Chains A and B, each alone.
Chain A
Amino acid sequence: MTAPVDDEAVELDGPMPSEPSHVTSMAVWDMPSVAIAGRTAHVKVGVTCSLGCSLVGHLVTVRDESGTTLGEALLDDPVGASEGLNWAQVIFEAPIFMGVSHLSASFTANDGEVTHLTCSTAFSVMTDPVPDASICLQVIFAPTGQALEDVEVRLGRYFTYTDGYGRARVDIPKGDYLCEIRKEGFAAAPFNVAASGDLSLLIKADKGETREELEARLSAMENYPWG
Chain B
Amino acid sequence: MTDKKNTGGISRRGLIGSGSVAVLGAAASKTQAAPGSGKIRRWDIDTDVVVVGAGAAGLPAALRARELGAKVVVIEENTDVGGHAIVGNAITNLGGGNALQQKYGIKDSADDIYLEYTRPDHPMTRYNDRELVRSFADHNVEVYDYLVAKGVMFTSTPPSNHPAEGSTIARRIGMNRSSDDFKDTINNTAGSGLIRPLERAARAAGVSILLQHRMVRIVREDPVAGRVMGIVATDLASNKTVAIRARRALISCTGGSSSNLVVRTIYDPKLTEEYQVGCEPYSRQSGDSEQLGMAIGASLGSTGGARNEMYLSIQKTAFIGCRFGYARWDPRGPYFSRAGASGIAVADYQDLILVNTIGDRFYDETVGLGRTNTDRGWSVFYDYFAQAMSSAVMEIDGKKQRVGGPVWAIFDSDAVQRERWDPRHPFVDIANGYFFSAPTLGELASKLRNNPYQKYPMAAASLERTVSRYNSFVDGGKDLDFGKPSPKYKIQKPPFYAAWATPILHDTYAGLRVNKNWQVMDVFGQPIPGFYCAGEASGGMTQHGVARCLVGGYVAATDAMKGSVRG
Contacts and interface: CB of A to CB of B under 8 A. Distances in A.
A58 to B, nearest CB: 15
Given A82-B439, A125-B475, A157-B477, A225 B370 contact: yes
Nearest to B88: A221
Interface in B153-168: 162-165
Interface residues of A, number: 48
B495 interface: yes
B372 A215 contact: no
Interface stretch (A22-30, A136-144, A196-204): A22-30
**Most chain A Cβ neighbours within 10 Å, of B348, B437, B465, B492:** B492
B204 interface: no
Interface in A162-194: 178, 182, 184
Contacts of B374: 225-226
B477 A182 contact: no
A102 B472 contact: yes
Given A25-B440, A25-B443, A226-B372, A121 B475 contact: no
Interface string B313-338: 00000110000000110000000000
Contacts of B369: 218, 224
B468 A227 contact: no
Nearest to A223: B370
Given A50-B443, A218-B327, A121 B492 contact: no
A200 B475 CA distance: 26
B494 A157 contact: no
A218 B345 contact: yes
Contact of B495 (A81, A220, A221): A81
A31 B492 contact: yes
B347 interface: yes
Contact of B496 (A23, A27, A30): A27
A56 interface: no
A85 interface: yes
Interface string B293-312: 00000000000000000011
Interface string B426-445: 00000000000111111100
B183 interface: no
A122 interface: yes
Interface string A12-33: 0000000000010111111100
Contacts of A123: 468, 471, 492
A124 B465 CA distance: 12
Given A214-B345, A225-B374, A27 B492 contact: yes
A123 B471 CA distance: 7
A224 B316 CA distance: 11
A124 B475 contact: yes
B442 A26 contact: yes
Nearest to A125: B475
Nearest to A44: B493
B195 to A, nearest CB: 17
A83 B437 contact: yes
A89 interface: no
Contact of B475 (A100, A152, A220, A225): A100
B476 interface: yes
B476 A99 contact: yes
B12 interface: no
A188 to B, nearest CB: 14
Would you list the 5 A-B pairs with minimal beta carbon distance, nearest first?
A: A227-B164, A25-B442, A126-B475, A25-B440, A124-B472
22 contacts: A25-B439, A25-B442, A27-B440, A31-B490, A46-B494, A82-B439, A82-B495, A84-B439, A121-B441, A121-B468, A123-B492, A218-B318, A218-B319, A218-B370, A219-B189, A219-B318, A224-B370, A225-B371, A226-B311, A226-B378, A227-B163, A227-B165
Interface of B: 88-89, 91, 162-165, 189, 311-312, 318-319, 327-328, 345, 347-348, 369-372, 374, 377-378, 381, 412-413, 418, 420, 437-443, 446, 460, 464-465, 468, 471-472, 474-477, 486, 488, 490, 492-496
Given A23-B442, A122-B468, A218-B318, 16 more contacts: A26-B442, A46-B439, A46-B494, A82-B494, A85-B494, A99-B476, A126-B475, A157-B475, A182-B418, A218-B345, A219-B328, A221-B318, A221-B327, A224-B162, A225-B370, A226-B377
